[in-house]
Each structure stands twice: as structure tokens, then as C-alpha cells.
Amino acid sequence: MPDLGAPSSYLALAEGTPVLSSDGRELGKVEHVLADPDADIFDGIVLDTSVLAGGHRFVDAAQVGEIFDRGVVLAMSGDEAERLPEPSGNPATMSATPDDTVPDDLGDKLRRAWDRISGKY
């Protein structure tokens, strides 16, 4: 395995960083880091497995073995990495509209009363 430098963090992981399997096979390069740095949540990476566009694969955070200054080593062999899924939308993403909320009659009445007392209306 090549010298990948010192251990690092997903916070310093740059686009274009080489990604290797646990058996040392180069799989591609980091296309995108999926994370929420403010909440310190690392979700995984999108891996570009081809020189041409279109070879993207999703690597879950649990499948990332180690992150170094000059490379990422996955916690799977090259053969296992060939079965990584293509990235897709996050099914846990939710949105709500006013139509989705349950009315709070007492809370709404108290809010309107306070708005009238305070001179808002």
C-alpha cells in the first residue's frame, strides 16, 4: 500500500483524494464528502470510480476504514467495493407544509389573544 500520510479527518478530506480498498486496490477518487460539520456528523463519501463521468458510488461512513492526508482506505476488499450502490436521494429527508400540521385550537386562541393584548393586531 502506498504511503498515505498521517491519519486525518473527514473535515480535511478533499475532492480528488484517492480511495483504496482494504487489500490496497485503488478504486477511484473522492467526489464528494457527505457530512454536516456543524453537527459533527459524517455520513460517507461519493466515490468517482471512473476517469469519465458516471461512475459514482456511495460509501457509507461505516464502510470507511481510515482517512489519511493522502488517501482513504475502505473497510472492504476490492471485490466487495465493486458492489457499492450508486448514490441516491436521502429517504430520511422530510418536509412539512401548513397542510401537514395538526391545528392547536387552544394554542391558536391564546396566541391570537396575546397578539391583540400586545397591540400586534
77-114: pLDDT as tens digits: 988 988 888 887 765 555 666 666 666 677 777 778 88
Give the pTM: 0.69
Domain of 13, CATH number, reads 2.30.30.240
Asked if residue 42 belongs to a domain, the reply is yes
Torsion of CA 75, 78, 79, 85, to 10 degrees: 70
Q: Give the count of domains, the chain.
A: 1
* Residue 87 CB neighbours (<10 A): 17
In a domain, residue 8? The reply is yes
Residue 12: inside a domain: yes
Specify the 3-state DSSP secondary structure of 109.
helix
Helix (H) or strand (E) segment spanning residue 65: strand 64-68
Residues of the domain holding 76: 1-87
Domain presence at residue 119: no
Report yes or no on 106 lying in a domain: no
Report residue 103 as a C-alpha cell.
391545528
Task: Evaluate whether residue 111 is within a structural domain.
Answer: no
pLDDT per position as a tens digit, 22-46: 999 999 999 999 998 888 899 999 9
Residue 34 lies in a domain: yes
